[in-house]
Every structure is written in C-alpha cells, then in structure tokens.
Structure 1
Amino acid sequence: MRRSLTRTTAASAALALVLSLLGQSPALADENRPPDRPDTSTLTARGEACSTDSSRPTLLNDTTLTLRGLITHPDAETVSTQVKAQFEWGLEGADEPLGSADSVYTWDSPGRPPAPRSVTARDLPEEVLIGYRARGHDTRAWGEWSDRCWIEISTSKPAAPPTVTSDDYPDDNRFHGAPGRAGDFTFDANGVEDAVAFYYGMSGSCTTRVELDQPGAEATVRITPQRDGPRSIHARSVDAYGNSSSCAMVYSFLVAPHADPVAYFPLDEGEDSTAHDAMSRGRTAEGTGAIGWARGRVGERAGSGYRLEDTAAVTSDGHLRTEESVVDTSGAFTVSAWVRLDGTDDDAVAVSQDGEHVSGFQLGYDASEEAWVFQRADRDSSDAGFAHRATSTAPAQTGVWTRLVGASDPSTGELSLYVDGVHQETVEQTSAGTAEGAFVIGGGQAGGEFAGTWPGAVDDVLAWNRAPVTADEEVSGGRRSEIWAAANQPVVPEGTWWLGETEGSTAEDATDHGLDAVLHGDPGTVWDGAFNDGIFEPGILLDGAQGEHLRTDGPAVRTDRSFTASAWVRLDDGGVDAVALSQSGSGTSGFALGYDAGLRRWVFEVPVQDGAGSVEVHRVTSATSAWIGEWVHLAGVYDHTDGTLTLHVDGNRAGGAERVDAWHAGGDVVIGGAGHAEGVGRPWTGGVSLAQLHQGVALDSDITRIQFGWIPV
C-alpha cells in the first residue's frame, strides 16, 4: 500500500534537494575531510625556511618569532571552506610543548590560492634545540601535524669587529698606491671564533658582505680606493645566528695622489722639428725626416682670450724620437694621444717605444682590420710578432681627431684599448718583452728597422708609469674617470658669436676659426634689436615669420663626438616650435637647441640619422615650462663617451636622456633656426645672444663659465 508524504517528510525532502544542488548532501557532510597535512617546505620562522634536520637547525637571533605556513583543504577545490592554523613548539625530546597558538579562521575558496596563516611565538629559550610544527582545522576537524622544523636561537653578539691588515696599503703613516689602484686587505676574526662573515665599507657603513670558508677564519678582499688622502675601513663581524658586532672603524691608511705623467708632449711648437717634454726639463723628441705642423685638437689659453687649439705634429713624411726611453715597459704603463688618420692603406703607428728588434708597444691603426689597435710583442727578437693585441670594436675614421688610450698592467695580465673614452677590448698578455729604446711619435719598429709611418697628425701625447684610473673620481663638479677626462676635456671653443654687431651683414666669430655667420634678414631690425639683461650685452632680434637667421659657411663641431651647444635666448612667440641654434646636415639638423610648443618646454634634440621629412630623434626637455619674453640661457651637452644628452637651463641641469647612432652633420651652423642643406626650419622669433659651440663635454662648472662668455677651465 502506497503511503502519502506528511508535511515533515516533504520538508525534509525539499531540504535534501536544496543541499544536493548547493553542495554536499547531509550524508556526505557527515564524511567531512580534514585539512591536509602541512608541507614543511611552506613553513617559516621569521621568514627563514624550515629545516627538518635536527642536526642542522635554522639559526635565529630573536626570541619572538612569527611562524607562518600554508594550510590547504581538499574541499576548497569545490566549495569555500574556513580554515585556521595551529602552531606548537617545544624542546627536543620533551613530552609537553613550550607553547602553542592558533591563527584566526579565514576562507579558502575555489580558484584562489590559499593564504598563509601565521602566529607569534614569544619568550623562546636560547641556545637549545626547539622544534615547531603546524596543523589545520576547518571548524569541524583537525588535520595531521606536519613534521617538526628545528630552530636554535641566540641573541649574544660577537664581542668585537674584525681587524684588518694590508701590504699594499699599510697603516704606516705613509702614502701608498693611488686612486683606482686595487689592493689586498686581510680581515681577521679578532678572536671571534664563531664569526661566519664580515661586512665592511669605506664610507662609514658596513654593507659589503664577505663570506668565510669556516667560522673564525681570515678573508682577503681586494678593495679599490676611489680618492687620495686619508681613507678608512669600517667593518663588523656576524655569527651564524645573524648577530652582529658594532660597525666600527677598524683600519686607516693613506692613498697617494695619482702619479703625474712621466712624459707629456703637447706638440704646440708649430715650427722647426723639435718637440719638448713638459714633464722633464731638457727632454726633447727630435724630428727625423720632414715634420710638419697643423692645427691640433687641444692647446693652451691665448693670453686672456679663448682656449684655442694649438698645433699638432704632421708625421706623414717624418717622425719624432727621444734619445732615451720614457716608459718602463716592464711594469704597468699607459700611453695616450689625439690622432688624426689621413690614410688607411697600411698599418700605422702613432706612438711607440723601441726595443732592440721590435717596439715594446704600439698604439695606432691596423689596416687588415681597419681598426684602432694597441699591441705588444711577447718577446724582443728579430722574428717577434705582436701576439697581444686589443682592437677597436668599430672601424677607424679618417680625418677625425680621435683620442686613443692604451694600457698595460702585468699585475692583472691585461692589455686594454680605449677610443674616445670608451673601452674597446681587454686581452690577456701572458708575457711581454721590455723595450728600453727611444720613445717614438709617428712610427714604430719591426725587425730592427723603422716601420709604420703615421699618415696624418698626432697631438697631446702623454705617458704614465701606471695603469689608468678607470674608477670614478671627482673632476670639476662631476664624478668622471681619468679615461673619460682624456677624451672629453678640455672643452674647446669652436665657434663663438656674441651677436653684438650694429651694422654690416655678418656676425663675427670670436674664436680664431673665422667662422663668421652671414645674416639672412633685415640688418635694421636684427642688429642691436634686443638687449640681454642677463649678461648686460646687446643681442639680435629675429622675426620667425620672415625666416630671419644667421648662417656660417661650414661646421663648427663634430656632432659624432662630444660637444656642447649654448645660447642666451628670449622667446617672444610660444605658439610654434622654434630653434635657436643648430648645425646642418643634408636633410635635417645634426642637433637642435630650442623650444617645443606642444610641451611648452625647452628642448635639446639630435636625430638618429640624416634624412628629410620625419626623422626619429633623441631628445631631452626641461622639467618646467619655458618662459616667454624673458632671457634664458640654454646649454645642450652630448657626451659621446657615455652616450647621453643633457639640457641645462640658466646653469641648472634640467634633464637628461640617452643617445645612440651618433653621426656627423658637416653643414653650416645656423643661429635662429633648424638648418639643413635645403634651408631652415622652425625659425626663432625673439632675441638671441652669445651663441657658442664647444667640442667636448662641459661639466656643471664649465656651464657657469660659458654662460658668461668666460673660458672653461
């Protein structure tokens, strides 16, 4: 006989249906699965990983610890589940725990990674083995305990920092070494037998870590002082628990200043065939063959006027040589020269020093690789070749002044070449012959005979009996290396236009280049049309709507080398892009210094290539808006060594950017527009005064002097 459903039975059936739709049935809920057993790989004490090996516990230095771990639940894959963690800790072998703590319940939900749970254990004992473990609870059942993680705590700090000694830089009240010259320093544990590491620094901090091979051992560290004068090392000892001694001054020593060059031939004579060494009274390099003279890359200040390029020795038909050797090739040495290569058919040597059969070194050009080279022979014999060779990464350029630096350091076994301040290559030299013969400018030696005539000119030759300083050092307001300074200093004026004319059709170049700028505009309104109240000098007034500008006949600077462009400007129309100073390429300017109307910012930009139309540019803009109707000094600096652009506004650094793909714009300088072969774009409306172009990188202190028309020094 069929029985009808009662009200109670029907309600029960409905509840069962709802539960079946929403999740587990009552029957399944009675079969609740507990949380998973925690994986010890997820457990940490104060962030340090679990060690299940009681013979190698995790060492800590705090008696209050945060214990953390992941507690997972199998049901959280399908339904949201509340889970908490319980941590328990106790001594090794003890039946009763020292303590335990529960985290709060939090939800684990499908599709979401479980969150770690944590508790705090306090007042833990020191220097005993402690084990902690974890398990989970889901409001209904406990999961299994994890394996134990073992820790040991000590808060006792090492009694003393390490002691330091050095044979390279002894603490004897005398000067040793030089900035940039590394030395070995030995750290001793100073009786702290459980020291596992030292931390040291040379600026009052102890941040550089030195690991020890075994507790309490010594460690020798190679440290490179960056400045001369008194220097000190601060250090601290650290034990295996992470406890540290105080960071204290543990060693002091004196660093000698850089050794002066052993020879410096400025080659500024400009006549006859004798070059004088500025470092050694009476030492000369006498000409063999026909020595000529040409405008050089660097020179001396002419009275109270501008620093002008002086002469360079032209060695295409002769060379210069001293009577005795200059460089000690058995030790570390460096040679440097500005060179201009005029022919690439044959190998050529700019600077060398004779041995009996072959040059002890050669700095110059390799025709087979079409590259700059610094090379040494492995021995001095009639059949010796140049086994050790460092070459440039890019082809050598002709007709361009290039700074070459070659360095040899037997203490490191390295031979290095730098071109325009940029490191090219370092090669290993296992051995090298010594050379005690003449120092030669404009050639070399092979098979006991003169060889490798330099087809071009050589300028500003220097030699040191030490390695170059490649680490950072303080130079005139910026941290620059000795290699960098050789390529980018001094800053040489290549064109200076005060723009104070009152009549005529040209603006005079104040340097001895004679690069006068021809006016394309109305002399009656341009000359003396604006007074620069920044330096109290007259300036010109240009009408951009009429395209007024000034233009030279030829370039002032190499735009593929470091240069500085600057001008005083007064912008009278902020509605359109405008350029105050540029140097022309074929289709676009090699650089442009001016104003961006869209951003309302000052701008210094260089295109990545020469071409008409839209060309990608590297640019740097000022951080603040440009001022309309007020005199402002703008200076744009391209650093070829570092590959950077910098913009200065009123002597303050306003921004910087990277530049790649340098190229030379060999056209005219344009004042008052962006020049190119077909004309001028983005003409300037307003005043311009004291426009200048310098070869080299003007540092912050140089910018200040340039701003007022003074000589950078």
Structure 2
Amino acid sequence: MPSPHAPPPTPRLARRTTGVLTSLLLSAGLVLTPTSAVHADPLERPNPPVISSTDYPECTTESCEAAGGTGVAGTFVLQAMDDDVVAFDHGWSGPPINRVPAVNGTATLELTPPGYGGWSLYARAVDADGNVSSTVYYSFVVDRLSPPVAGWDLESGPHSVPLANIVPNGPALVPGGETGWAADARLIGVDTADLDGAGHFTAGTGVVDTTRSFSVAAWVNLSDKSTDGNVIGVDGENMSALYVGYLAALDRWVLGVPHTDTQRHRWSYAIAPEAVTVGQWTHLTASVDRETDTASLYVNGELSAQTALPEAWAATGEFRVGNALYRGELTAHWNGRLAAVRVYDRALIAEDIVRGRDDNRPLMWPALTGHWNFDNDCCGEAIDLSGWDRWLALHNGTSFDVGHDWSGYGMVFDGVDDYAATAGQVLRTDNSFTLSAWARVDADTDFGVLGIEGAEQSAISVDYDA
C-alpha cells in the first residue's frame, strides 16, 4: 500500500494514446484538462510497420507468384501501427537506412527492385522521440524479363542456321524474290544474308502483337543510299505497323509508325540525327512502349530518337524482313546485308542492348572469334576454344609454361624470333573488335604482344615499349 505522502501513481497509457484528451478522471485523483497531451513512453520502441504492395504481392506459405520485372517500378505502402510514428527507414537490405517522412502514419514509395528473382524490402518505424522499431521485411519475387519471342541469325556458320528460328518451334524465315549470301561480310567464315533491292524474307502471322509493347532489332549494313530500305515490318491490310530502316530523302535511320491502317494516314517518326554511312555495320533497335505510348530508336545501343505514339492498331498480317507494306504495295526493298534479327514482346531499353539484364545477353553481345588459354595443346599448336578451330601454331621454339594465375599454362617467347600465329584470318578489322591477353615482362626490351597482319603492316598491334 503506498504511503499517504507519496505522489499519486503515474498513469500508464497504451502506445497508441498520443492525441489530446477532452477529459479523463483517474481514481488516483489526477485530472487532465482538455488541453493536456499524453505521449508514449520516450524509452519504449514503436511497433514495426506493416508493408504492402499490389504491384509486387507478398510471398506466403501458400503462394509466391512472380510479378513486375527488372527495371519495373512498383508502389509499396508503409503503414505505422502507432500514432506517434513520424518517419520510416527502408532499404533492400537490413538495417534499412533510407528515411522518409510519415504522413498520417503512412508513406507511399515508388521503388524499383534491384533485379529479378526473390527480394525483400526492409523497413522500420521511427517515433517522435527518435525511437526506432525492430526491422521487418516484405518478401516477393520479381519476374524474369522475357527472352526474344522470335529471332533469326540470317548467317550460316558453326554456331547458327541462317533461316531457323532461335526459339524452339518458332516459324522459320521464308525467302522471297532474289535473296543472296555474302561470304565473310560480318564474321570470317560465315555467309550473311545479302539483299540487292529485290529480295525479302517472311515468317508468317502472329509473330508479335502490335497492340501491346514490343521491340525489334537487327544488325544492318546498307549498300545503296539512292532508295529507301526497310529492315523489319509487320503487315496490316494496307500498311506495315512500323517502318524501321533507311529513309533516303533524309539520309537517316528512322523509326516510323503510321497512325492508321488506311490508304490515307499520318505518321509518327523517330529520326536519328546522324547521316548513314554506306558499308558500315550498324545495330538498330526499335522499341514500342504502350505503357507510355512512346517509340524509341536506338542506334548502336544509344537512344537516338523518340516520338509519341497514336492509339495502337492490330497488324495481323505477315512479319517481314527486307521490305514494307505501303498502301497495299510492297516497297522500300532493302539493299545491303542483314543479320541477327530479334523480336521481343516488351519494350527494350539501352541496358538490354549493350549490357543485358537478368540472364539475357545484350543484343550487341560480341562474337567470340578466337580463344586460346594454352591449357590444351597438341602437335605444336594451341587449341582454339571458341569453336572456330583457329589453332595457334607455335614457331621457332615457342613453348608452354605456368600461366598468369599458376593454375594453367601460358606461352613463353625468347624475345628473338619466337611467335605463334593462326593459319588464316580471324576477324574483320573494318568492324569494331577487341583483343585481350595476359602478358608478363621478363626482360626490359620492346616486344609485341598481339597483332593482326595486313598486306604491308599490322592493322593493330599491342606492344610493350621499354
């Protein structure tokens, strides 16, 4: 029993009692006037928040369905369980450190998950006294970005079949008109599709839905700038749903979208700012984003031009490569080489083209044309691991010894006349290319590491200059 001289007991209120009370009479004799404020214990931690999202549903013991996608933002709501919460910390790992204010006990966040697969959003509540709750997490699964829905290499070599679809059971390309093949046009040892303005390819109907987001891409090499040349089109009754290729009147790469499938219509154009160079391989990507109604033209992986899109219309006819349907007639026949046509059922961005996302390789993934690690040698030669059988022959006493990481082998040269070389050409030096190797200097003297021979001199040499 308390002493008659002791102060009355301190009233204890639940954490959620933080507002102004209009009246309250306690049996201990303490009366709070209408202007009295009652706050939670400053040493008591708030309850953790509740996290929710309709864009990325939470995994449960019963289900865990993937949603969204890499690069796709979602709305996440943090809801306080106490009235005096003034902020939240959140992040993709714990402890979360990104602080945002709470408005009426809530914070609505637009967040983009870092990648595909399983992720957790971590969060904690912060009250007016600076107390921080324990951390909670919200687990969900980000859907993997879809690979191409169709693709044709248009090249014959050890790694490709020219007209076959890279997607199992997908339609093959069917040649029409005068189609030809050019040897060593892009890759040494490969025949590449070569059209002279009279040929084309088709793949039937239903390849892509033009009323939704989609993208198409290809490597192109223009031979003649005197006429228009279309790379990829999808037919309606009168028009192709898109035109991606060369427009002679402007001397530019363009992405054109007709507003309607009629004889008379308007166009939306994305026009590249730079003139086109004949005989130069260029990568073109046309991305149609129906969430933003925007069409984007990428040239060699860089965003070159964009345009607003009209309302979509369904092109249910042929998917074609090398020409376009214009007012019911086939026109804009391509004059040049074509390779690596790809079709996606989503809008692509630059990262898809030059870096790749999820498990998808970038569209501009370089072709490996030679690879020698010297762990496997036979008969005085180093085996080529690239699949092209371009073995390196060792000359004048070149030998093998321990490699750069002590787990394999490397070649040893005497600095006088030792060298190793392939029997023939490995790549074209008039296209982009890269050479790389590990090298170690054993003597302070000039020497060459890598080189590609021309008729009179090396097209490139990687050297050590003492």
TM-score, with normalisation over the residues of structure 1?
0.49
Are residue 288 (structure 1) and residue 176 (structure 2) matched? Answer: yes
Residues 406 and 415, structure 1, Cα contact 8 Å, conserved in 2 = yes
Q: Which residue of 2 aligns with 1:46?
A: none
1:182 to 42, 47, 72: 72
RMSD: 4.5
Provide the C-alpha distance between the structure 2 equivalents of 1:583 and 1:269, rounded to a whole number of angstroms.
24
Task: Using the TM superposition, give the Cα deviation of residue 364 of structure 1 relative to its aligned residue in structure 2, in angstroms.
Answer: 1.9
2:367 to 465, 468, 491: 491
Task: Using the TM superposition, give the Cα deviation of residue 490 of structure 1 relative to its aligned residue in structure 2, in angstroms.
Answer: 4.8
Task: Using the TM superposition, give the Cα deviation of residue 247 of structure 1 relative to its aligned residue in structure 2, in angstroms.
Answer: 2.8
- Mark the runs of 5 or more structure 1 residues left unpaired by the alignment: 1-126, 129-152, 300-307, 520-525, 598-713
1:277/1:586 Cα in 2 relative to 1: closer, same or farther (>3 Å)? Answer: closer
What pairs up with 1:398-437 in 2 under 5 angstroms?
398-437=278-317
- Per-residue CA shift, 1:525-570, capped at 9, x if unaligned? x9332312136687665528xx99989998834476352333x656
Task: Using the TM superposition, give the Cα deviation of residue 318 of structure 1 relative to its aligned residue in structure 2, in angstroms.
Answer: 0.5
1:379 to 248, 257, 260: 260
Provide the C-alpha distance between the structure 1 equivalents of 2:345 and 2:80, rounded to a whole number of angstroms.
38
Provide the C-alpha distance between the structure 1 equivalents of 2:241 and 2:223, rounded to a whole number of angstroms.
25
Q: Which residue of 1 aligns with 2:132?
A: 244
Task: Using the TM superposition, give the Cα deviation of residue 310 of structure 1 relative to its aligned residue in structure 2, in angstroms.
Answer: 4.1
Q: Which residue of 1 aligns with 2:341?
A: 461
Q: Which residue of 1 aligns with 2:447?
A: 578
Higher relative contact order (CA 8 A, sep 6+): 2
SS at match of 2:253: strand
SS at match of 2:296: strand
What pairs up with 1:582-621 in 2 under 5 angstroms?
582-583=451-452, 591-597=460-466
Provide the C-alpha distance between the structure 2 equivalents of 1:372 and 1:313, rounded to a whole number of angstroms.
20
What pairs up with 1:245-260 in 2 under 5 angstroms?
245-249=133-137, 251-260=138-147
Residues 528 and 541, structure 1, Cα contact 8 Å, conserved in 2 = no
What pairs up with 1:200-349 in 2 under 5 angstroms?
200-212=90-102, 214-219=103-108, 221-239=109-127, 242-249=130-137, 251-268=138-155, 275-281=163-169, 283-295=171-183, 310-316=190-196, 317-349=198-230
Task: Using the TM superposition, give the Cα deviation of residue 512 of structure 1 relative to its aligned residue in structure 2, in angstroms.
Answer: 10
Task: Using the TM superposition, give the Cα deviation of residue 395 of structure 1 relative to its aligned residue in structure 2, in angstroms.
Answer: 3.6
Are residue 543 (structure 1) and residue 416 (structure 2) matched? Answer: yes
Residues 217 and 283, structure 2, Cα contact 8 Å, conserved in 1 = yes
Provide the C-alpha distance between the structure 2 equivalents of 1:356 and 1:244, rounded to a whole number of angstroms.
64
Provide the C-alpha distance between the structure 2 equivalents of 1:274 and 1:373, rounded to a whole number of angstroms.
26
Residues 390 and 422, structure 2, Cα contact 8 Å, conserved in 1 = no
2:362 counterpart letter in structure 1: A
Provide the C-alpha distance between the structure 2 equivalents of 1:387 and 1:338, rounded to a whole number of angstroms.
23
Q: Which residue of 2 aligns with 1:365?
A: 246
Provide the C-alpha distance between the structure 2 equivalents of 1:551 and 1:269, rounded to a whole number of angstroms.
22
Q: Using the aligned pairs only, state the percent identity.
A: 26
Provide the C-alpha distance between the structure 1 equivalents of 2:124 and 2:140, rounded to a whole number of angstroms.
18
Residues 234 and 320, structure 2, Cα contact 8 Å, conserved in 1 = yes
- Per-residue CA shift, 1:371-426, capped at 9, x if unaligned? 3333322332222243142x445443332333222211111333222233333334
Decide which structure has greater helix share. 1
Residues 49 and 81, structure 2, Cα contact 8 Å, conserved in 1 = no
Provide the C-alpha distance between the structure 2 equivalents of 1:227 and 1:383, rounded to a whole number of angstroms.
44
Which is greater in Rg?
1
1:550/1:164 Cα in 2 relative to 1: closer, same or farther (>3 Å)? Answer: closer
Residues 369 and 426, structure 2, Cα contact 8 Å, conserved in 1 = no
Residues 336 and 403, structure 1, Cα contact 8 Å, conserved in 2 = yes
1:513/1:257 Cα in 2 relative to 1: closer, same or farther (>3 Å)? Answer: closer
- Per-residue CA shift, 1:638-672, capped at 9, x if unaligned? xxxxxxxxxxxxxxxxxxxxxxxxxxxxxxxxxxx
- Per-residue CA shift, 1:226-256, capped at 9, x if unaligned? 433322211123345554333321x222223
Provide the C-alpha distance between the structure 1 equivalents of 2:155 and 2:234, rounded to a whole number of angstroms.
21
- Mark the runs of 5 or more structure 2 residues left unpaired by the alignment: 1-36, 403-407
Q: Which residue of 1 aligns with 2:34?
A: none
What pairs up with 1:2-17 in 2 under 5 angstroms?
none
What pairs up with 1:558-577 in 2 under 5 angstroms?
558=429, 561-566=432-437, 571-574=441-444, 576-577=445-446
TM-score, with normalisation over the residues of structure 2?
0.72
- Per-residue CA shift, 1:100-133, capped at 9, x if unaligned? xxxxxxxxxxxxxxxxxxxxxxxxxxx99xxxxx
1:274/1:572 Cα in 2 relative to 1: closer, same or farther (>3 Å)? Answer: closer
Task: Using the TM superposition, give the Cα deviation of residue 328 of structure 1 relative to its aligned residue in structure 2, in angstroms.
Answer: 0.9
1:226/1:188 Cα in 2 relative to 1: closer, same or farther (>3 Å)? Answer: closer
Residues 421 and 483, structure 1, Cα contact 8 Å, conserved in 2 = no
1:527 counterpart letter in structure 2: H
Q: Which residue of 2 aligns with 1:350?
A: 231
Provide the C-alpha distance between the structure 2 equivalents of 1:490 and 1:361, rounded to a whole number of angstroms.
28
- Per-residue CA shift, 1:464-501, capped at 9, x if unaligned? 1122365699x9xxx85479943442532169899999
Residues 153 and 162, structure 2, Cα contact 8 Å, conserved in 1 = no
Residues 179 and 256, structure 1, Cα contact 8 Å, conserved in 2 = yes
1:165 to 35, 53, 68: 53
Q: Which residue of 1 aligns with 2:328?
A: 448
Residues 46 and 132, structure 2, Cα contact 8 Å, conserved in 1 = yes
Task: Using the TM superposition, give the Cα deviation of residue 441 of structure 1 relative to its aligned residue in structure 2, in angstroms.
Answer: 1.0
SS at match of 2:362: helix
Residues 181 and 469, structure 1, Cα contact 8 Å, conserved in 2 = no
What pairs up with 1:149-160 in 2 under 5 angstroms?
157-160=45-48
